[in-house]
């Protein structure tokens, strides 16, 4: 089971947000956003998992927290399919554990930034659980060419919030847009949001994410 950090915005949370960090970060990376989501009408529990530590090819084989290996700077090519699927199973195990702990799948939001967002999109389109929502930030849909044959269809009506910085030098803006179009063409309920920033998350973006989550 993945280790994780857990925080709540209030008692008796109605939603659970599982938020996956990006390459080289850890669960603490998005922990500071929790106060932004405090709302008197809806308490939320956040879980921030730590990705496994493993070698990353584009970083000279240096070991770091990573959801999967990245073999070249053009991240849309040569995907680490085995690593992506392994992380998918780890995230699914975490979802299953939270369901056993008392949450319903329909109360769970799967979120992620960069590499974490890629795993969120991959997992949400394959899982047999109907989720409350999906938030995918500054990322892309990995192994997109296998979506039609592998998608479960359980989350076709689940709201997806896709966001990207228009000046992103790490995950190309065009790759994010093409992933949005692929999900839309496959019948998913996706919304697209772009912001004038590089590879990161802005306060305006967090406010939009908050509005999205509180409507679920």
**Which of these is catalytic: 29, 122, 168, 179?**
168
Show the beta-strand stretches assigned E in 37-80: 44-49, 53-56, 62-65
**Which of these is catalytic: 114, 122, 129, 138?**
114
Question: By C-alpha distance, which of 109, 63, 108, 65 is closest to 87?
Answer: 65
Strand, helix or coil for residue 134: strand
Q: Which token pair is 47?
A: 């879980």
216: number of Cβ within 10 Å: 19
114 classed as catalytic: yes
168 classed as catalytic: yes
Q: Which token pair is 88?
A: 């998918």
Give the span between the Cα atoms of 171 and 212, in whole angstroms: 23
The DSSP element (H or E) to which 164 belongs, if any, is strand 159-165
Q: Which token pair is 175?
A: 């790759």
Question: By C-alpha distance, which of 159, 151, 150 is closest to 132?
Answer: 159
**Which of these is catalytic: 50, 178, 193, 199?**
199
193 classed as catalytic: no
Q: Which token pair is 210?
A: 């908050």
Residues with catalytic roles: 114, 168, 199
């Amino acid at each position: 089971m993945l280790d994780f950090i857990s925080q709540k915005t209030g008692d008796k949370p109605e939603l659970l947000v599982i938020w996956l960090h990006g390459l080289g970060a850890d669960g603490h990376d998005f922990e500071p956003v929790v106060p932004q989501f405090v709302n008197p009408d809806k308490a939320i529990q956040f879980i921030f998992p730590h990705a496994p530590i493993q070698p990353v090819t584009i970083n000279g084989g240096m070991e770091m927290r990573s959801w999967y290996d990245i073999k070249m700077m053009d991240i849309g090519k040569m995907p680490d399919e085995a690593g992506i699927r392994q992380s998918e199973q780890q995230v699914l195990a975490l979802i299953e554990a939270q369901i056993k702990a008392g949450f319903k799948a329909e109360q769970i939001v799967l979120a992620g930034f960069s590499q974490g967002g890629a795993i969120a999109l991959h997992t949400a389109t394959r899982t047999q659980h109907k989720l409350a929502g999906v938030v995918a930030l500054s990322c892309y849909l990995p192994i997109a060419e296998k979506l039609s044959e592998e998608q479960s269809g359980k989350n076709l009506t689940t709201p997806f919030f896709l966001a990207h910085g228009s000046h992103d030098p790490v995950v190309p803006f065009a790759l994010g847009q093409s992933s949005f179009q692929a999900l839309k063409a496959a019948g998913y309920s996706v919304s697209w949001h772009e912001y004038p920033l590089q590879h990161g998350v802005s306060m305006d973006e967090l406010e939009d994410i908050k509005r999205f989550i509180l409507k679920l």
